Amino acid sequence: MAGDPSADAADISFRPMSAKSAEALGVALAAIDPWAHYRYTAQALTTFLRAEEDDAPRVEILLEGASAGAFSIRRTWLRGPYLQFLGILPSFQKKGIGNAVLSRFEAEGRGAQARNIWVSTSEFNVGALAFYERFGFIRVATLDALVAEGTNEILLRKRLTID
């Protein structure tokens, strides 16, 4: 798969988000885009990452045992799950983590016999757009001023074939 250089899959792992990890990640992610662009506070991100939702569990990403980021998949959306959050700390980017998360996301969608998997990203986040498109996502809509005036979000879909 095109995208991040591959890390050894055995080095990448996932675990349910803890309160301690949510706080550390909330602080770190608030300092980078797109969250810094939108002026999300560390407290707002920490609160989101700590939240417990059966339909959208928060997951910590680990690389070689170190906290590298977080993701959350909303399991029921438009005929398939939606990746509602993906944040990878800068020092862990370009190490195959994004591919590992998207591969897990797609596998979960296929396991649930979903017709689609969905993501969205800010139009200014050209690296994320290119990454999702390399993974087979297609732009399907522009959501004008969804998060803030003057900035649009791009909704992307990957259609899954059901065997």
For the stretch 94-142, pLDDT in tens is 999 999 999 999 999 999 999 999 999 999 999 999 999 999 999 999 9
pLDDT of 148 reads 74
Place of tokens 């997951």: 59
pLDDT of 7 reads 53
The helix/strand/coil state of 129 is helix
Q: Yes or no: say if 135 and 3 are a contact pair by the CB < 8 Å rule.
A: yes
The helix/strand/coil state of 6 is coil
What is the CATH architecture of 9-159? 3-Layer(aba) Sandwich (3.40)
Q: What is the pTM of this model?
A: 0.89
pLDDT of 147 reads 73
pLDDT of 151 reads 86
List, for residues 41-85, the tens digit of each pLDDT value: 999 999 999 999 999 999 999 999 999 999 999 998 988 999 999
Find, among 32, 105, 29, 99, the residue nearest to 67 by Cα: 29
pLDDT category at 86 given cuts 50, 70, 90 is very high
Q: Yes or no: say if 43 and 26 are a contact pair by the CB < 8 Å rule.
A: yes
d(CA 138, CA 118): 9
